[in-house]
Each structure stands twice: as C-alpha cells, then as structure tokens.
Amino acid sequence: MAGLKDVIEKRMTITSSPHSVIMDICASEDNTMVSKMAMVIWSLWYNRNNIIWNNKRSTPSQVNMMANALWDDWRLANCISENSLDNHSHNPIQRWVKPPEGWLKCNVDAGFHPHQGVSSLGACIRDERGVFVRAHTTLREPMLQVIEGEAMALLGAIQWVLSSGF
C-alpha cells in the first residue's frame, strides 16, 4: 500500500502500541490513508481467521496484495477516485426507506467471495417500523458473476417469501 508503510513507521518510532498507531492514523491522516489502513487491518484479520479455522497461512506479500485488491475494489464499487477521498467528496449516502404502514419490505443482496469460490445470497424482511422480521441466506458454488448473483438473490428471495407464506 503506497505510502502507508511510511505513515506506520513514523508512528512506531513514537509508540509501540498498535492501538495507539491505528487511532492516531484514523485521527490525523486523510481518508485515503485511513481507508488503506482499514483494508490492511481487515486482511490481517482474515488471514488470522484462515490460519485458525482452515489451517491456511498467507505470506505477508499475499496479505498486502489482498489489502490492495480490496481497497481498489472498494474504490471502484463506490466510484471514488483517490483525489475525491482526499477532498472528502463522495457519493451521497443512501438510506433505507421504511415501507408504508401495514407492509413489509424485503431487501436482497449478493456477496462475492473469490478466495472461497462462492457467492452469498441474502434477503432481510423488516416491518413498517424497520424492525427485523426474518432473514434468509444461502451460498452458491461456483462463484457467480455480479449480475447473475444479484439476479439469483432476487429470485431466491421471491421463492423464499412465497414458500414462507408472506
């Protein structure tokens, strides 16, 4: 991650506490650096869990490559350039909208997990107050393309809702 190494090393001369380093980066660096740091932390956490649960260990350069790929994917998915991160301008926040009174709302989504070769499909039903009613998830192998995954999530949600008697 370009530039992040220098940012971390500078702080490590002041303190050896990872918590202090992370908190100082979040408090004083620009959004680009903070988002890169978040991807490194997530990649380290993912690697730790992979060691514990799957007995699979990634090399430091594989963890770095994963963090870079995640950061690039996150930026692309949110249509954010490095410059717009630094200028604090980004897409407007989209908020969940409650359904009309007496109605339920079913939101669907798909997730894509290339390291496991699967797609996750999910649906969540909430009432007019936004209160959770019921949810459904499933995994699909092999991993689907984005448009297929989103379509399959919608189809699966429709089938699930109909079979649940809603």
Q: Dump pLDDT digits (tens) for 122-141.
A: 999 999 988 999 999 999 99
The pLDDT, as a whole number, for residue 82 is: 52
pLDDT tens for 52-103 read 988 999 999 889 888 888 888 877 776 655 555 554 444 566 778 888 889 9
Q: Indicate if the pLDDT at residue 17 is higher than 70.
A: yes
Please report, as a single letter, which amino acid is at residue 2. A
Q: Give pLDDT, residue 69.
A: 86
Dihedral pair phi/psi, residue 110, rounded to 5°:
-130, 145
Q: Rounded mean pLDDT of the chain?
A: 86
pLDDT at 2: 67
Q: How far is the CA of 115 from the CAs of 16, 46, 119, 142, 157, in angstroms?
A: 32, 11, 11, 11, 25
The SS3 of residue 124 is strand
Q: What is the pTM of this model?
A: 0.48
Distance CA 66, CA 68 (A): 5
Q: Name which of 30-34, 105-109, 130-134 the model is least confident about.
A: 30-34
Q: How far is CA 96 from CA 11, 19, 93, 128, in A?
A: 39, 33, 10, 11
Q: β-strands 118-126, 132-140: how paired?
A: antiparallel
Q: What pLDDT, on a 0 to 100 scale, did the predictor assign at position 110?
A: 93
Query: Are the C-beta atoms of residues 66 and 49 closer than 8 Å to each other?
Result: no
Distances (CA, A) of 154 to 94, 123, 124: 20, 8, 11
- Residue 74 is predicted with a pLDDT of 78
Predicted pLDDT of residue 135: 94
Q: Where are the domains of the chain?
A: 4-86, 105-163
DSSP strands (E only) in the chain: 105-113, 118-126, 132-140
pLDDT band at 26 (very low <50, low <70, confident <90, very high): confident
